[in-house]
Amino acid sequence: MAAGALLLALLLPSACGRRTGYLTDSFLSMDTVITVSLGKDTPDAEKIFAECRRRTEECRVIFDAHDPASALSRLNASAGGMTVPDELADVVSLAARVSEASGGAFDFTLLPVSTLWRNAEARGSLPTGEELAAALALRGAGSVSVVREDGAAVVRKAPGQTLDLGGIGKGAAEMTLLSYLSAESGAPYGVLSFGGNVAVFGEKPDGTPFVIALRDPSDPSGTAAELELSGGEFVSVSGDYERYYEIDGEKYGHILDPETGFPADGGLLSVAVVTHDGALGDALATALFVLGEEKGMALYRSEKLAFEAVFVRDGGLTATPGLAGKIRAAEGFVFDVSAP
């Protein structure tokens, strides 16, 4: 993966500022930077940070496709599926729902295609049509199912199929951490940043909402908009400006169009999705980036899945109606709240 892959997709002005006095811990896991920010009066913060690292590692050994020992890698290596931890089965079920609702735009069976692009980057030339066709032959979320056998969760798949949960796994792990932080840790409030996924919990002492800055995809040091979040809300951002394959001086985004195997081009620079379910938000951000604004708004209006979204184009953005009053576009951005 090209340099810059670890930059955060979101800025957290309030959490990062020393003035506000959050206690923070940052670490690397699941191919991303994770930052836990706790209200400054949190008792036993060091213990909470250690517990967050431990729980993240528990998630990593399930979802990390790059670790051959992870539950996901073992599932991928199995012929037609196997018994898996409940956490993995739940995420595969949700991924299948998002795949169905998005008409296949979210496709978690593209691992052979991602691997092809990674190898293409290493050798310095684009994948050939033949290579792409071969890698696309095994795709198809419809061949993946989750069943229960003797009380255990089993994922079934076509022989040779391999799953890529890179578009949903971080949000799923983030959700696990957020429920620990909000329900068990004793921390009164805080912010959790998981790569392109941010979640907040509790209530700030002054009663004001959390404010998250969405990065301007065309200017990594700039802001496209500020978004208000309340405790229990997640925001996930997908874009192709920070993770990409670089081949012969050209950048190829890591979010793929399942039809062609080439980087998706839905006409957007990035998409932010606000939900109460971090795994759903993560998957939907990836799906909406593929779909683009028009089809994305159609999915929103279908009410198949509960979410709000911000579609970021070059110099402009559109928010879904539920974000009216909660989002402020930065100067220079043409801003629009879509009709319901």
Q: Which residues bind ligand AMP (CB under 6 A)?
A: 106-108, 110, 114, 164, 166-167, 196, 238, 243, 254-256, 258, 282, 285-286, 290
Q: Which of these segments, 2-10, 159-167, 218-226, 264-272, binds Mg ion (CB under 5 A)?
A: 159-167
**Please, what is the minimum distance in Å from the beta carbon of residue 330 to ligand AMP?**
22
Residues 6+ apart with CB under 8 A from 85: 62, 71, 153
Q: Please state the separation of Cα 287 from the chain's center in Å.
A: 10
**Please, what is the minimum distance in Å from the beta carbon of residue 254 to ligand AMP?**
4
Residue positions counted in the chain? 340
**Please, what is the minimum distance in Å from the beta carbon of residue 319 to ligand AMP?**
19
Q: Which two tokens stand for residue 184?
A: 């068990």
Of 216 and 240, CB closest to Mg ion: 240
Of 167 and 266, CB closest to Mg ion: 167
**Please, what is the minimum distance in Å from the beta carbon of residue 118 to ligand AMP?**
10
Asked if residue 167 binds Mg ion (CB under 5 A), the reply is yes
Select the binding partner of residue 215 from Mg ion, ligand AMP, none (C-beta < 5 to 8 A, by kind). none
Q: Residues 263-292: x/- map of binding to Mg ion (CB under 5 A)? A: -------------------x--xx------
Of 223 and 286, CB closest to Mg ion: 286
Question: What is the DSSP annotation of 233-281?
Answer: -EEEEEESSSSEEEETTEEEESSB-TTTSSBP-SS-SEEEEEES-HHHH
Q: How far is CA 47 from CA 33, 53, 71, 192, 307, in A?
A: 20, 10, 27, 16, 33
Phi, psi at 74, each rounded to 5°: -70, -40
Select the binding partner of residue 114 from ligand AMP, Mg ion, none (C-beta < 5 to 8 A, by kind). ligand AMP
**Please, what is the minimum distance in Å from the beta carbon of residue 301 to ligand AMP?**
21
Of 9 and 153, CB closest to ligand AMP: 9
Q: Which of 79, 146, 325 is nearest to 226 (CA)?
A: 325
E strand or H helix that includes residue 194: strand 189-194
Asked if residue 169 binds Mg ion (CB under 5 A), the reply is no
**Please, what is the minimum distance in Å from the beta carbon of residue 170 to ligand AMP?**
7
Select the binding partner of residue 202 from Mg ion, ligand AMP, none (C-beta < 5 to 8 A, by kind). none
Of 185 and 238, CB closest to ligand AMP: 238
Of 187 and 198, CB closest to Mg ion: 198
d(CA 199, CA 191): 6
What does DSSP say about strands 10-11 and 210-216: parallel, antiparallel, or unpaired? Answer: antiparallel
Residue nearest to ligand AMP (CB): 166
Residue nearest to Mg ion (CB): 286
**Please, what is the minimum distance in Å from the beta carbon of residue 273 to Mg ion?**
8
Q: Which of these segments, 78-86, 122-130, 161-169, 226-234, binds Mg ion (CB under 5 A)?
A: 161-169
Of 139 and 243, CB closest to Mg ion: 243
Of 162 and 185, CB closest to ligand AMP: 162
d(CA 161, CA 321): 39
Q: Which two tokens stand for residue 222?
A: 């700039």
What does DSSP say about strands 316-319 and 334-337: parallel, antiparallel, or unpaired? Answer: parallel
The per-residue b/e assignment along 277-312, b for 16 or more CB within 10 angstroms, e otherwise, is: bbbbbbbbbbbbbbbbbebbbebbeeeebebbbbbb
Instruction: Return residues touching Mg ion (CB under 5 A).
Output: 167, 282, 285-286
